[in-house]
Amino acid sequence: MAGNGEPVADPSAAPSFVHPVRPDQARLEAATAAFRMLSDATRLHILWVLAEGEADVTALVDSCHASRTAVSQHLAKLRFTGLVETRREGRHIIYRIRDGHLARLVREGLNLADHIVTGEPPHA
């Protein structure tokens, strides 16, 4: 048990897709912070690209049609908040989305947007 009475996750256990935990204040604030990072179109586009696979800054600039400066600033925010990670490959820094939950959230948000834009009926 953690100091707050919550069970501590077993680091050797396989990650789960569903976490049936009632949202407490800490979880609500963490989710709000993640949604805040998703509320910018360029950051959302960057995350969508990274949900499909790793990329360097040049590939992200090309995909997002944004300036290198803007992409770099957004990547810094995404790194600071822990939503993306990096690794070095020679002289290049390669970015990747940190968590499968985030990748699925980004994809689902854009699937919802597709319904809104095209007028396709919502799913039950």
pLDDT at 124: 76
For 106, 110, 114, 121, the CA distances from 117, given in Å and listed in that order, are 16, 10, 5, 11
- Provide the CA 97 distance to its chain's centre, in angstroms: 6
pLDDT digits (tens, 9 = 90+) for 17-73: 777 788 999 999 999 999 999 999 999 999 999 999 999 999 999 999 999 999 999
Q: Which pLDDT band, with edges at 50, 70 and 90, does 7 fall under? A: low
Q: What is the pTM of this model?
A: 0.81
Structure tokens belonging to residue 2: 């953690």
